[in-house]
């Protein structure tokens, strides 16, 4: 095999919103290493999740297809029909293919799906003996910690310091293992692909000491809450606020604390990215390694008085996306053309000289987009199906989405209203733009056979509205680890 093909370092975070990189306009957050990637590579400033929730976003990324083609629209099973994944294709082309961290594979979280080897650190674990990080953590004497990624459930959006020091933190473990892999490849002749996947900054926001004091709540900006914020909500926003215990009051002090700890989680990831860049540089592999950094979806962080993901607002659906390889991506480049998860697979396979044989991907090579050689004008997204579905189309100028559970259209002017404070759907001056976006979205859905939500012509099928439980405690979330039974003699027996 030729050794001229680049190595590939694929860095992935969970729930990191698009506006959390200092070099791309955030004056508060400290991300010197992501800033370096943006400086030495190309930043795609209109990158969108194919489906703004963990499993379906990752599914679209590793198969290069929209949810209408993968059949995965939520945290539900991925395809099990033998189609090739990104990792299958790279392995078939002679790459050493390794994964570190969370993959969110479903229905079997321990599946390989094309990886030749994996070091596992998953979010919810049934058996700690089958999770490499927990096995290591317990061997370090931390077997008493029953919430290794932060205390979930009722504490999901309560900022909290991690229960162990940086060296034992899940983010540091990912950095350690990825760094070791890079060092081990220095003398190898064949190219490698490394998927390095961090659970953070997914809540609970639990950075280690002293990172939890890197940002202070009174110094954090207030959330973006337009005057008619609830008019911008869908049923998804109401459901997320309920399940996260955030719908019985809105405390700006708490919101700024949440943001401070969320930023700290990202800065701690940035520190690990720096360690990986240093290892690549020291071993002479940096400029022959394609580095792609992105996340699965964003996080509202109190914007619109909302929390969580799953909605099509930019805060939840738009993600950071950086690519560095001097020969393929312009140094210091900024690309505002819409791109997304479906573009990752064709980008990596093109660089590697690898091909899919089982299906045609929906995306395009990001290098072609950055060079201005792609005529694609829009990307698309879908969450759920049927009466709970939300469908989205994004161009450089406009974003349109439709929530079937509310029978409501949303249209945002991306140039005049980048913070999405006013819905232009139904406004006479934006009627033509709305119609164009709706038609393009429906054409995409019909072409993919996704017709459950479509009626005749350019109309949406009407469904009964999605209702919230009347009980204010109905729908709240419990996410305890199955293995972490609480046993306090004299109290629990």
Q: What is the pLDDT of residues 314-328, one digit of tens each?
A: 999 999 999 999 999
Q: What is the per-residue pLDDT for 148?
A: 93
Alpha carbon distance 332, 39 (integer Å): 5
Q: What is the per-residue pLDDT for 3?
A: 46
Q: Please say whether the beta carbons of 399 and 415 come within 8 A.
A: no
Q: What is the per-residue pLDDT for 349?
A: 98
Q: Enumerate residues 6+ apart whose C-beta is below 8 A from 407.
A: 460, 462, 463, 465
pLDDT digits (tens, 9 = 90+) for 119-129: 999 998 889 99
Q: Please say whether the beta carbons of 67 and 382 come within 8 A.
A: yes
Alpha carbon distance 25, 320 (integer Å): 12
pLDDT digits (tens, 9 = 90+) for 42-55: 999 999 999 999 99
Angle between helices 170-184 and 252-282 (to 10 degrees): 10
Alpha carbon distance 132, 484 (integer Å): 16
SS3 170: helix
Q: Which two tokens stand for residue 71?
A: 């059949």
Q: Please say whether the beta carbons of 161 and 208 come within 8 A.
A: yes
Asked whether the CA dihedral 206, 135, 14, 229 is positive or negative, the reply is negative
pLDDT digits (tens, 9 = 90+) for 362-383: 999 999 999 999 999 999 999 9
Q: Which of 187, 360, 265 is nearest to 13 (CA)?
A: 265
Q: What is the per-residue pLDDT for 326?
A: 94
| Domain assignments of the chain as residue spans, ordered by start | 7-379, 385-466
CA distances from 236 to 88, 308, 390, 420, 468 (A): 34, 9, 9, 17, 10
pTM, entire model: 0.96
Q: Give the model's confidence band at 311: pLDDT under 50 very low, under 70 low, under 90 confident, else very high.
A: very high
The CATH T-level fold of domain 7-379 is Alkaline Phosphatase, subunit A (3.40.720)
Q: Enumerate residues 6+ apart whose C-beta is below 8 A from 5.
A: 191, 351, 352, 353
Q: What is the per-residue pLDDT for 482?
A: 83
Q: Which of 302, 263, 298 is nearest to 29 (CA)?
A: 263
Q: Please say whether the beta carbons of 439 and 393 come within 8 A.
A: no
The CATH architecture assigned to 385-466 reads 2-Layer Sandwich (3.30)
């Amino acid at each position: 095999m030729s050794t001229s093909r680049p190595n590939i370092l694929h860095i992935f975070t969970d729930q990191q919103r698009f506006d959390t990189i200092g070099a791309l306009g955030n004056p508060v957050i400290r991300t010197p290493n992501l800033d370096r990637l943006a400086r030495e590579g190309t930043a795609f400033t209109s990158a969108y999740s194919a489906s703004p929730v963990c499993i379906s976003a990752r599914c679209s990324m590793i198969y290069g297809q929209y949810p209408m083609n993968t059949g995965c629209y939520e945290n539900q099973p991925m395809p099990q029909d033998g189609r090739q994944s990104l990792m299958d294709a790279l392995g078939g082309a002679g790459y050493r293919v390794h994964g570190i961290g969370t993959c969110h594979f479903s229905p079997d979280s321990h599946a390989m799906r094309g990886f030749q080897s994996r070091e596992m650190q998953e979010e919810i674990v049934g058996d700690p003996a089958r999770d490499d990080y927990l096995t290591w953590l317990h061997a370090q004497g931390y077997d008493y910690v029953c919430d290794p990624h932060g205390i979930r459930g009722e504490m999901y959006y309560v900022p909290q310091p991690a229960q162990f020091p940086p060296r034992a933190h899940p983010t540091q473990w990912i950095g350690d293992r990825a760094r070791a892999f890079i060092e081990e490849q220095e003398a190898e002749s064949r190219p490698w692909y490394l998927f390095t996947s961090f659970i953070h900054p997914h809540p609970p926001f639990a950075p280690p000491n002293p990172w939890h004091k890197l940002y202070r709540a009174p110094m954090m900006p207030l959330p973006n809450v337009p005057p008619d914020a609830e008019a911008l909500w869908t049923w998804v926003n109401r459901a997320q606020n309920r399940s996260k215990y955030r719908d019985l009051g809105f405390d700006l002090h708490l919101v700024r604390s949440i943001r401070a700890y969320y930023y700290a989680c990202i800065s701690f990831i940035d520190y690990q990215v720096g360690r990986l860049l240093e290892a690549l540089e020291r071993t002479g592999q940096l400029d022959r390694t394609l580095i792609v950094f992105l996340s699965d979806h964003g996080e509202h962080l109190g914007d619109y008085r909302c929390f969580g993901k799953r909605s099509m607002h930019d805060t939840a659906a738009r993600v950071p996306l950086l690519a560095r390889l001097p020969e393929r991506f312009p140094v210091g480049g900024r690309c505002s053309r819409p791109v997304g998860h479906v573009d990752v697979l064709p980008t990596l396979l093109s660089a590697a000289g690898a091909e899919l044989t089982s299906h045609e991907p929906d995306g395009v090579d990001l290098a072609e987009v950055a060079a201005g050689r792609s005529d694609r004008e829009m990307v698309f997204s879908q969450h759920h199906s049927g009466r709970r579905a939300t469908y989205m189309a994004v161009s450089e100028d406009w974003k349109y989405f439709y929530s079937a559970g509310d029978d409501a259209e949303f249209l945002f002017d991306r140039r005049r209203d980048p913070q999405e404070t006013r819905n232009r759907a139904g406004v006479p001056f934006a009627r033509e733009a709305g119609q164009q976006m709706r038609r393009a979205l429906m054409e995409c859905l019909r072409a993919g056979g996704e017709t459950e939500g479509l009626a005749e012509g350019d109309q949406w099928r009407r469904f009964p509205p999605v209702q919230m439980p009347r009980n204010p405690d109905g729908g709240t979330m419990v996410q305890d680890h199955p293995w972490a039974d609480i046993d306090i003699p004299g109290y629990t027996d």
